[in-house]
Amino acid sequence: MLTKREMLVLKEIIRHYNETGQPVGSKTIMGTLPMKVSSATIRNDMATLESAGLIEKTHSSSGRVPSDAGYRYYLDHLLQPTMVDSDDLNMIQTIFRQKFYQGDELVAQSAKILSELTHYTAITLGPEVGSMRLEGFQLMPLGNRRVLALLITTSGQVVNKTFVIPDTVTGEQLEAVMRVINDQLVGKPIAQVMDQLDSHLVPLISRYIHSPDFFMDLVHSILSEASADRFHISGKMNILDYAHMNDVDQLKSLYHLIDTDDSLANLLGLDNHDDEGSNAHGVTVRLGHEFPNQLLAHMSLIRATYHAGEYGDGIIAILGPSSMPYSKVIGLMDLFRDELARRIADYYRDHG
């Protein structure tokens, strides 16, 4: 159990290290603590903090640096989110006041705003994913053995894809497939349709078409395009600033990670939904070393879920260095999730 002053010392070490990036010494702390104590006292406190594993030395006579555990302790016990300052608030509201045509634009813009305000990397995910249902499906012959497949979802997303049809396929067959899908599948959640493709669709289509392989491929292909997680990432290049990578190959791997939907889903914890690391504000912080992936070692992921009412939940997240102004960033995220949730609800209410 830490004393009050030890906590303060830890907090100050984290604050200073954040600002300067340099190890912090006892004299520096002495200057900024609210009470008047000597540097020797602080040295003693630091020794305690060090044996508790919360801070580290870079070499035997250096100042102290927060350790992974130190950050964890800070996040869990010491952190108080700051209010978003009015300039930032203004910027957010100004941008959100624009007119958005596509539902996605709102979410994409969010990533942009977040990355610009923080100078880190922002990742956002729209609310549609889970709750999205199939609204319509069309096949339009384009001539010359090509056909345009068009899939519309309840969230207003439209996916189109052109296919080359085998010689054996006739116009009537196209009609039949279209009819079957619109009769049987419209209104069902996309995810469910995906799962039951083989068991449901094959028998239905086989009634009209002898070898339904082509159509199965087609439907599968366009469905997976529609149901793929649509991450919006902004500020990718900021990684160059905050990930102090000496190895170019690691940097490349990191970018690969960010660019791969699967790893991103994994990063955001889209698979398991335990709330570890969440604090009272519904904003969760995961430190890099808590991820299985070595690459994220000195990074930190701040993640918040926003609730767009009946339209489902979405995610906003920020990837940055372990050493960042958490109070500010968490304050920002907390405000932003509400703001975005409201805007999305507005959007769908007005024209959803």
Strand partners, 149: 139, 161
User: Residue 265: which residues within 8 A CB-CB, separation 6 or more?
Assistant: 229, 271
Contacting a second copy within 160-199 (CB under 8 A): 160-164
Give the interface with DNA as residue ranges (CB under 7 A): 5, 23-28, 36-41, 43-44, 46-47, 50, 57-64
Q: Minimum distance between the CB of residue 56 and DNA, rounded to whole angstroms?
A: 11
Per CB under 8 A, 1 contacts a second copy: no
Task: Mark 196-235 with x for binding to a second copy (rule: CB under 8 A) and - for no binding.
Answer: ----------------------------------------
Cα 54-55-59 angle, rounded to 5 deg: 150
DSSP result, 156-223? S-EEEEEEEPPTT--HHHHHHHHHHHHHHTTTSBHHHHHHHIIIIIHHHHHTT-S-THHHHHHHHHHH
Q: Minimum distance between the CB of residue 247 and DNA, rounded to whole angstroms?
A: 19
Q: How many residues of this chain bind a second copy (CB under 8 A)?
A: 28
User: Residue 314: which residues within 8 A CB-CB, separation 6 or more?
Assistant: 107, 124, 125, 126, 127, 129, 305, 306, 308, 340, 341, 344
Per CB under 8 A, 119 contacts a second copy: no
Distance CA 126, CA 66 (A): 35
| Contacting range for a second copy; rule: CB under 8 A; set: 139-147, 176-184, 203-211, 281-289 | 139-147
Q: Minimum distance between the CB of residue 208 and a second copy, rounded to whole angstroms?
A: 23
Nearer Cβ to DNA, position 59 or 97?
59
Phi then psi for 241, rounded to 5 degrees?
-75, -50
User: Interface with a second copy by CB under 8 A: which residues?
Assistant: 101-102, 135, 142, 144-146, 148, 150, 152, 156, 158, 160-164, 237, 240-241, 248, 251-252, 255-256, 350-352
